[in-house]
Amino acid sequence: MKKFALFGNPVAHSKSPRMHNLAFQNLFVDAFYGRILLETSDLLIEKFNFFNLSGANVTVPFKENIIQVCHEAHEDARSIGAANTIIKQGDNMIAYNTDAPGFMLAIKEFGKINNAIIIGAGGTARAISYILNKNNIKVDILNRSDKKRNNFVNFDFYTPQNFKIKTYDLVINTTPAGLINNELPINKEILIDIIKNAKFAFDAVYDIETPFLNLAKFYSLKYKDGKDMLLYQGVLAFNIFTSNKFDFSKVEQIMRFALDLK
């Protein structure tokens, strides 16, 4: 039996084991997916080998560090500077980023998008800005602070202090604002100006309707939370784990069921 796992801290809440195990079971793959609490990223290889894993996913706060501990990284993961999927090939560990293409699949239903603004400047903003840019969509970054500006040298980077209103097709929240409190990700006046002129809104947060999405709804934007991004990063990771042996839509269907999605 092949073994896979999710590494992170915390990992208890994650839906990944449910998604992958249901897919293994329904597709008759002799494999199991568990979760492993990791204290520090330098223990990842040791634990990966100890449990004799064939592949893994990595979540907060290790997505950026695993690039350094893996032997190779796929072009997207290398350019983003973060990965969420590892596969063992021979003695080598290869890192991939499926969050970025997972996001692109999640926003497909919005249709044509020319430009977007990302609120937040963490790992998720790095993945999303990279993939939008790769798909020729102009991206600006707006963050509450200036401290991560250097991670976005190819983008126009704003804080509320120097932001001047522009028109964007898509507004994306990549901050955890609204997850544990009732906060908006950025000053309400600025956000209303952006949302009033936008067509679509996307929130990386899932499972709750955040104040950000409520505002988008109020201004009649077409909007989505982050559940489909979670779904598609999982389908893409599963395909890497199983060497693309299974039909994408079949895996998607099973994982949708695992996530209670329609």
Residues of this chain that interact with ligand NDP (CB under 6 A) are: 60, 99, 120-125, 143-145, 147-148, 174-177, 179, 183, 185, 204-206, 226, 229-230, 233
With respect to ligand NDP, which residue has the nearer C-beta, 232 or 241? Answer: 232
Assign 35 to helix, strand or coil: strand
Q: At what angle do helices 227-241 and 248-258 cross, to 10 degrees?
A: 130
* Contact (CB, 8 A) for 104 and 231: no
Q: How far apart, in whole angstroms, are the C-alpha atoms of residue 49 and residue 240? A: 19
With respect to ligand NDP, which residue has the nearer C-beta, 36 or 205? Answer: 205
Q: How far apart, in whole angstroms, are the C-alpha atoms of residue 76 and residue 67? A: 11
Minimum distance of ligand NDP from residue 22's CB (angstroms): 17
With respect to ligand NDP, which residue has the nearer C-beta, 94 or 259? Answer: 259
What amino acid positions are annotated as catalytic residues? Answer: 63
Minimum distance of ligand NDP from residue 127's CB (angstroms): 8
With respect to ligand NDP, which residue has the nearer C-beta, 3 or 14? Answer: 14
* Contact (CB, 8 A) for 25 and 16: no
Minimum distance of ligand NDP from residue 5's CB (angstroms): 18
55: phi > 0 → left, psi -120 to 50 → alpha, else beta; which?
A: beta
Strands 92-96 and 85-89: what pairing? antiparallel
Minimum distance of ligand NDP from residue 52's CB (angstroms): 27
Q: Name the closest residue to ligand NDP (Cβ).
A: 122
